Amino acid sequence: MTVIFSKKCEYALQAILFLAAQRTRDAVSARDIAKKLIIPKEFVSKILQSLTESGIVASRKGKHGGFYLAKDPAKIILIDIVAAIDGMNIFNNCVLGFPNCDPNNPCPLHDTWGKLRTMAYNMLTDQTIDQFKQKTLKKLTDIR
C-alpha cells in the first residue's frame, strides 16, 4: 500500500537503489532492471527517462547501452529522487487535500501529519543512496 509516495516514485527509488547496488558502474538495460524488480519495462523506461532529465541517471545507447547513475551514490540523497518524480507538494499540501489548511486553520490531521511529514522529510534529506547498498543487495536476493 502506498502511503506517501506514488507507485512511480516507489519504483524510481527501487531502480536507483538497484543501480547503486551494482558492482560496476556499467549501464544496465531497462529490461534487466524491470525483470529484476518485477516492474513493467515500459514503466521503468519512463521513470528512468524522468530521472535522466533530472540529472540523477544517465543513459547510453547502443548494444551495451542502458542506464547508470550520473552522480556518485554518496551525493544522491533520497529526496532528490522524490522531488524528481513526485515533486515536493507532499511536504507542503494538506494530507487530506483540504484547501487553505495551515496552522491557523488546521484540518483534523494537521498536527499529527505535520510531525510525520517532518520526520519523513528529515529521513529523506539525511540519507544518501550509498548507505543502503548492503540492504538493497539482500533485498534483491530475496525477490523471487
| CA pair distance 43, 30, nearest whole angstrom | 9
3-class state of residue 57 by DSSP: strand
Residue 60 domain-assigned (yes or no): yes
Query: Do the domain assignments include residue 1?
Result: no
Q: Classify residue 2: in a domain, yes or no.
A: no
For residue 29, is it within any domain?
Answer: yes
At 21-39, the pLDDT tens digits run 887 778 999 999 999 999 9
Q: How many domains does the chain have?
A: 1
C-alpha angle 26/29/33, rounded to 5°?
A: 105
- Helix, strand, coil shares, percent, the chain, to 5: 55, 10, 35
**36 in any annotated domain:** yes
Residue 24, domain member (yes or no): yes
Segment 47-71 shows an average pLDDT of 93
- The number of residues in the chain equals 144
Query: What's the domain range around 90?
Result: 7-142
Q: Convert the pLDDT of each residue in 82-120 to its tens digit.
A: 999 999 988 888 888 899 998 899 999 999 988 988 999
Q: What is the mean pLDDT of the chain?
A: 89
- CA-to-CA dists, residue 1 to 10, 16, 144, angstroms: 11, 20, 19
Say which CATH number the domain at 111 has.
1.10.10.10
What pLDDT does residue 128 have? 92
Share of the chain above pLDDT 90, in %: 61
